[in-house]
Amino acid sequence: MRRLTLAILVCLLLVACRAQPQPTEVSMVVSVQPTWTPTLAAWDTPIPLPKHTIAPGVAPTKPPVPTPTATPVEPTMTPVPTATPTSVEPTATPTAAEPTATPTPTVPTATPTPVTPTATPTATKPPAPTATPTPAPGNVLTNGDFEGDFTAEGVGAGWNRFFNGDASFFWAPNNWPPVVASGAQAQGMTIADTPKADRFIGIYQTVSVVSGATYKLELSGLIRALNAKPGSYDNRMQWGIDQNGGTDWTAVTEWTDLGWDEQDMDATPQMGYYTTSITAQSNKVTLFIRGWVKWPKKPNRAEFYVDNVKLVGPKPR
């Protein structure tokens, strides 16, 4: 009976060994099995049987597998937190030193540079003062009151004469008070014995002016004629301008009548006055003043007097 039991146990053991997942170990058990047969009779108890469970012995060999639990070494990677010294980056917060760069507000202090704008207005002002001297008005004509010398031809100094011939022409200073507007003398011009119509006698002067500026023309004078007929327009006085400073009186295209009627030689004359404005178109202009006898007469005598002539405006520098 004991043997039967033993045989059954052996069989069960063999079956259990075969059931192990490691066939190699089972094959080893099979090789050991022959050695067990001789000792079967010597066993007093079935207790030693567990010693033949090689499978349990093999299983312990698996524990080394847990040794991979050395993976805790990975936790040792936690020293990576030591990388937390990246908090050093916060120490980089001293970049707050940039705020210290805020002293750059000193740049705003440079804002006083607006002083330069103040300089710009001063630059604009200088031209204004330069303009101030020019507005100072003055008479740009020379010897317009004829109080200076006269040339050998009887023309006031600073002036020139012109005429168109075919008659008798005279220029001379005259100090008779009725024909003098101011001062002691005036410029006199005379045409006598005119065999032809449209005889002219006159004076002119070229002066420097400021282009674009306005000038006030003023002059006084009168006309005396033999057998005068006031309102007849037989004898007239006119003025003209050459805007380019030319001296050819025949080139003047526009002449303006002074509005003075002829007065009889036997009467005390009355001085006439005229004024107007002229805008200069260049830096030089020439002023012409002339007497005009329209019709041929013989005997005839027409006297033209001019005094106190002014062309008032800015004097060029």
* Domains delineated in the chain: 2-69 (no CATH), 139-314 (2.60.120.260)
Question: Strands 255-257, 262-264: parallel, antiparallel or unpaired by DSSP?
Answer: unpaired
Euclidean distance between the first and final Cα of the chain, in Å? Answer: 158
Determine the longest span between alpha carbons in the chain, in angstroms: 201
What whole-number distance in Å separates Cα of residue 11 and Cα of residue 110? 107
Token pair recorded at residue 48: 């030693």
Both structure tokens of 16? 């259990």
- pLDDT average per 10 residues of sequence, the chain (317 residues): 71 64 44 44 45 43 45 44 43 44 49 53 61 70 97 97 96 97 97 95 98 98 93 94 97 96 94 97 98 91 97 94
DSSP 8-state code for residue 155: P
pLDDT of residue 82: 43
Backbone angles phi, psi at 39, to 5 degrees: -90, 0
Q: What does pTM read for this prediction?
A: 0.59
Q: What would the DSSP string read from start to end of 6-74?
A: HHHHHHHHHHHHHHSS-HHHHHHHHHHHHHHHHHGGG-SSSTTGGGG-HHHHHHHHSTTTTGGGGTTHH
Q: Which two tokens stand for residue 232?
A: 């007849």
CA atoms within 13 A of residue 205's CA, in its CB half-sphere: 18
> Is the previous residue joined to 79 through a cis bond, with omega within 30 degrees of 0?
no
What's the rounded Cα separation, in Å, for the pair 144 and 306?
9
